[in-house]
Amino acid sequence: MKRVLARTVYMVIVLALSSVAVFYAIRLSGGDAVAARVPASASAEDREAVREQLGLNDPFHEQYFDYIGSLVSGDLGNSLTNNAQIGSMLTEHGRNSLILGAAAFILVFGVGIPLGMLASLRRNSWWDGGIMTFSVAGMAVPNFWLALLAVWLFATQLGWLPSAGCCSPKQLVLPAVVLAMEGLALTVRMTRSAMLENLNQDFVRTLRSGGLSEVKVIGRHVFRNALVPIVSLAGLRIGQIVGYALVVETIFGWPGLGQVLVNAVLRRDYPVAQFFSLVLVTIVLLSNWLADVGYSVVNPRLRRG
Amino acid sequence: MTDQNLTHLETWDRRQAEYEESRRVGPIKATFDRMLRNRLLLFGTVLGLIVLGAGFVGPTISGADPNLQNFSATHLPPGSEGNLLGTDHLGRDQAVRVFIGIRVSLMVAAGVTLISLAFGLVLGMFAGFLGGWRDRTIRGVVDFVWGFPLILVAVLFAGGLGEGLFPVILAVGLVNTAAIARVVRGEVLSLSEREFVEAARAGGLSTPRIMWRHLFPNILAPALVLASYYVAVAIIAEAALSFIGLGAQPPTPSLGGMVSDGRNFLHINPWASTIPGVTIVLLVLSVSLIGDGLRDVFDPRLRHEAKGVEQE
Residue A172's pLDDT is 87
Residues of A in contact with B245 (CB under 8 A): 262, 266
Tell me which residues of chain A, numbers 187 to 226, contact chain B at a CB-CB cutoff of 8 Å: 190, 196-197, 200
Domains of chain A, each with CATH number or no CATH: 92-268 (1.10.3720.10)
Per-residue pLDDT band at B8 (split at 50, 70, 90) = low
Are A140 and B285 an interchain contact pair (Cβ–Cβ within 8 Å)?
yes
pLDDT tens per residue, range B251-297: 788 888 888 888 877 777 778 888 888 888 888 888 877 877 777 77
Residue B117 and residue B105 in contact, taking contact as beta carbons nearer than 8 Å: no
Per-residue pLDDT band at B312 (split at 50, 70, 90) = very low
Length of chain B: 312
Per-residue pLDDT band at B304 (split at 50, 70, 90) = very low
Per-residue pLDDT band at B15 (split at 50, 70, 90) = low
Residue B3's pLDDT is 45
Q: What is the percent of chain A where pLDDT is above 70?
A: 92
Residues of B in contact with A14 (CB under 8 A): 144
Residues of B in contact with A141 (CB under 8 A): 281
pLDDT tens per residue, range A232-289: 777 778 888 888 899 899 888 889 898 889 888 888 787 888 888 888 988 988 888 8
Q: Is A22 on the interface with B (CB under 8 A)?
A: yes
pLDDT tens per residue, range B139-198: 888 888 887 888 888 888 888 887 888 989 999 999 999 989 988 998 888 888 888 888
Q: Angle at the Cα of B64 (from B58 to B67), degrees rounded to 5?
A: 110
Are B151 and A246 an interchain contact pair (Cβ–Cβ within 8 Å)?
yes
pLDDT tens per residue, range A66-105: 888 888 887 777 777 777 788 888 888 889 999 999 999 9
Residue B183 and residue B309 in contact, taking contact as beta carbons nearer than 8 Å: yes
Per-residue pLDDT band at B119 (split at 50, 70, 90) = very high
Q: Which of A6-15, A35-44, A246-255 has the lowest mean pLDDT?
A: A35-44
Report helix angle A270-298 to A2-28, nearest 10.
Answer: 160
Domains of chain B, each with CATH number or no CATH: 27-51+105-311 (1.10.3720.10)
B57 or B312: which leads in pLDDT: B57
In terms of Cα–Cα distance, which of A45, A107, A126, A84 is closest to A272?
A84
Are A156 and B267 an interchain contact pair (Cβ–Cβ within 8 Å)?
yes
CA separation (Å) from B236 to A141, A142, A145, A284? 9, 6, 10, 21
Residues of A in contact with B160 (CB under 8 A): 24-26, 28-29
Per-chain mean pLDDT for chain B: 78
Number of other CB atoms surrounding residue A182 within 10 Å: 22
Question: Between A and B, how many CB-CB pairs are < 8 A?
Answer: 117
Residue B46's pLDDT is 79
The CA distance from B281 to the nearest CA of chain A, in Å, is 7
Q: Which of A116-130, A167-181, A265-279, B282-296 has the lowest mean pLDDT?
A: B282-296
Minimal Cβ distance to B259: which of A148, A265, A270: A148
Residue B232 and residue B292 in contact, taking contact as beta carbons nearer than 8 Å: no
- The rounded distance, in Å, linking the Cα atoms of B199 and B233 is 39
In terms of Cα–Cα distance, which of A134, A15, A275 is closest to B144?
A15
